[in-house]
Every structure is written in C-alpha cells, then in structure tokens.
C-alpha cells in the first residue's frame, strides 16, 4: 500500500494509539485534539483545517454525534475532492448518516466505522471495525482497518456500522447484568464462584461476559475484576451505548425491553451509585451487596 497522508481528529484514549499505529506503519499522520493531546509519530496541528487540508484520508474518533456533526462540517470544507472520511466514533445512526451525506455531497467517500476491542485493542492493533458506506469507500478504508485492527466487516450502507455496534453493545450490557445477577444469586445459594464458572462457561449459559470477561475476581481469564474494576470498558460508556440503542429503537419503533431495562440499571449505577469511573462489570459487587427489594 502506498504511503498516505492521514488527518486524525480526536487523540484520546482510543484515537491516540490508533493514530500511532498508522504512523508506525509508514503513513504520514497529522493529528488534532482540542485537549492538545498527541500520539507517537503523529505531527500535531493547531486546528482542524491544518489537520485535514490535502489529506488523502481523514479519521475521527469523537465523544458523541453532536461533536461529530460540528467537526465534520468544518473538516469537509477543507478536504480535497475524492478523499476518504472515516468516522470511528460511536454515535447515533442519524448523525452517522448525516455526516456521510454531507461528505458525499462534497465529493468525498465516507465510512462510519465504530470499533470494538477497547483501549487494549486500540494499542495492540486488534480492534474490530463495523463499517457502513459504499463498497468503494470500504475498499479504500480496508487497508487502514487492517493496520488498526484484526477484523473489519462491511455491514451495509451509511449508518450500518453504528447499527451493528449499538445492537452488539445492547446484547453485551444485558448479558453482563444477567451474568452479575447469577453470580450474586450463586453466592447466596452457597455455590462457589469457581464452580459456577466451571459449569456455566461450558454449558448453555456461556457468553463473552462470562467466558472472556468474567466479572468475578480470580475466576476465569484475567479481567478488570482482577484489577479492582478499573475500567477496560467504563460503565459510563456502556450507559452511553445503551442510550444510543434505545434512541435507535424509538426511531424505528422496535420493542427492546431488555435493552431498556439495562439502560435503566446502568443509569442508576453511574448516576446514583458508585459506578462512574468503574468497569461495567462492577455490576457484580453492586448486586452482591443488595437484597431483593
């Protein structure tokens, strides 16, 4: 693959290692972040225009749809015709579609490509990308996904990547709650947590939440539970994603009672209890300390 000039906007916990991996692979990467953060091998710029002007590809990793719309509107003005705009943020489907439409109207290719794999995956280059956009746009983006991740799935037209991400994380939020509830119930029934794991992880109750990210300390593969629930994936980020899932469900009149209840529980955990700043699997000590009412 030839060397590309890449503008990367949003050098936070996820964006910085992603940008660094692109630079390490030999691409010329410029970066911009409102907080002034930098990344290894990335040339820092003072504004969006300086970051994106003349770039072959612009990648964004931003907190929400409102910020994406603002940043995209400015970036698109300064991008050259035929360039590729990739948004890796997790945002609402409508913001993703709005951004893609604005990009395409300006003669650009556009892909919405939220990621799964967390900060560790961003650093190791093992993310999974869920992409929405035209076949031509995905084909141009795929070699970059191969650098930043280990898998990229073209899910469909604009917004399809975001749809896949929020559906996946709705499942994740609900299954983590069910897993934590089950461990708390097992405790009160006198069932050893390791025995519980040994049975469930090889039976019909197995899931990623149980088998790969077990919320019980000292049980299963190492996870944030073994590090006092310091976030691998923060509870407030799960709250955000569940909110996006229910926003989408309302938009298309989908009945998602488990997703809605998971949203309520994570909102309570983050906003009214001690969940903020903890991993989303810290629901286990929450349930363990509670009675039935």
Q: Any idea where the domains of the chain sit in the sequence?
A: 5-156, 163-289
Q: Among candidates 68, 263, 87, which has minimal Cα distance to 169?
A: 263
C-alpha torsion sign, points 39, 41, 45, 51: negative
pLDDT-above-70 percentage for the chain: 100
In terms of residues, how long is the chain?
293
CATH superfamily of 5-156: NAD(P)-binding Rossmann-like Domain (3.40.50.720)
CA angle at 88 for the pair 248 and 158, rounded to the nearest 5°: 55
Mean pLDDT of 31-41: 95
Q: Is residue 161 scored above 90 in pLDDT?
A: yes
Q: Tokens 């556009």 sit at which residue?
A: 110
Q: What is the pLDDT of residues 214-257, one digit of tens each?
A: 999 999 999 999 999 999 899 999 999 999 999 999 999 999 99
Q: What is the pLDDT of residues 42-68, one digit of tens each?
A: 999 999 999 999 999 999 999 999 999
- Per-residue pLDDT band at 128 (split at 50, 70, 90): very high
Q: Is residue 1 scored above 70 in pLDDT?
A: no
Alpha carbon distance 141, 292 (integer Å): 50
Mean pLDDT of 31-37: 95
pLDDT of amino acid 2 = 84
- Per-residue pLDDT band at 120 (split at 50, 70, 90): confident
Tell me what the pLDDT averaged over the chain comes to: 97
Please state, as a whole number, how many other Cβ atoms lie within 10 Å of the Cβ of residue 275.
24
Under a CB-based contact definition with an 8 Å cutoff, are residues 281 and 212 in contact? Answer: no
Mean pLDDT of 134-156: 98
Active site (catalytic) residues: 165
User: Which residues have C-beta within 8 Å of that of residue 200, sequence separation ≥ 6?
Assistant: 182, 206, 210
Q: What is the pLDDT of residues 190-223, one digit of tens each?
A: 999 999 999 999 999 999 999 999 999 999 999 9
State how far the alpha carbon of 22 is from the alpha carbons of 8, 141, 217, in Å.
10, 12, 35
C-alpha torsion sign, points 151, 156, 158, 159: negative
Rounded to the nearest 10°, the torsion over CA 263, 267, 268, 272 is: 180
Q: Which CATH number fits domain 163-289: 1.10.630.10, 1.10.1040.10, 3.40.50.720, 3.60.110.10?
A: 1.10.1040.10
Q: Among candidates 43, 52, 44, which has minimal Cα distance to 71?
A: 52
- Per-residue pLDDT band at 119 (split at 50, 70, 90): confident
Q: Is residue 293 scored above 80 in pLDDT?
A: no
Provide the whole-model pTM: 0.91
Do 5-156 and 163-289 show the same overall fold? no
pLDDT-above-90 percentage for the chain: 97
Helix 193-200 × helix 160-188 angle, to 10° = 130
């Amino acid at each position: 693959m030839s060397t590309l000039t890449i503008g990367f906007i949003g050098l936070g916990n996820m964006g910085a290692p992603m940008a660094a991996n692109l630079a390490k692979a030999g691409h010329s990467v410029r970066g911009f972040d409102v907080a002034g953060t930098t990344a290894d091998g990335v040339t820092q710029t003072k504004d969006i225009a300086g970051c994106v002007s003349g770039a072959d590809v612009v990648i964004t990793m931003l907190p929400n749809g409102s910020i994406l719309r603002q940043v995209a509107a400015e970036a698109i003005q300064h991008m050259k015709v035929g360039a590729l705009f990739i948004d890796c943020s997790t945002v609402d489907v409508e913001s993703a579609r709005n951004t893609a439409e604005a990009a395409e109207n300006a003669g650009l290719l556009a892909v919405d490509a939220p990621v799964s794999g967390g900060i560790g995956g961003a650093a190791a280059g093992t993310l999974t990308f869920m992409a929405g956009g035209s076949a031509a746009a995905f084909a141009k983006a795929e070699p970059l996904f191969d650098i930043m991740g280990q898998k990229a799935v073209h899910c469909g037209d604009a917004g399809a990547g975001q749809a896949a991400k929020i559906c996946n994380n709705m499942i994740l939020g609900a299954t983590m709650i069910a897993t934590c509830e089950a461990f708390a119930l097992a405790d009160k029934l006198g069932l050893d947590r390791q025995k519980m794991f040994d049975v469930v992880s090889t039976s019909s109750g197995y899931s990623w939440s149980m088998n790969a990210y077990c919320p019980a300390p000292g049980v299963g593969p190492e996870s944030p539970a073994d590090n006092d629930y310091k976030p691998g994936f923060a509870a407030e980020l799960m709250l955000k994603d569940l909110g996006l899932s229910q926003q989408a469900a309302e938009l298309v009149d989908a009945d998602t009672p488990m997703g809605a209840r998971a949203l309520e529980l994570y909102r309570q955990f983050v906003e009214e209890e001690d969940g903020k700043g903890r991993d989303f699997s810290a629901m286990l000590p929450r349930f363990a300390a509670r009675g039935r009412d």
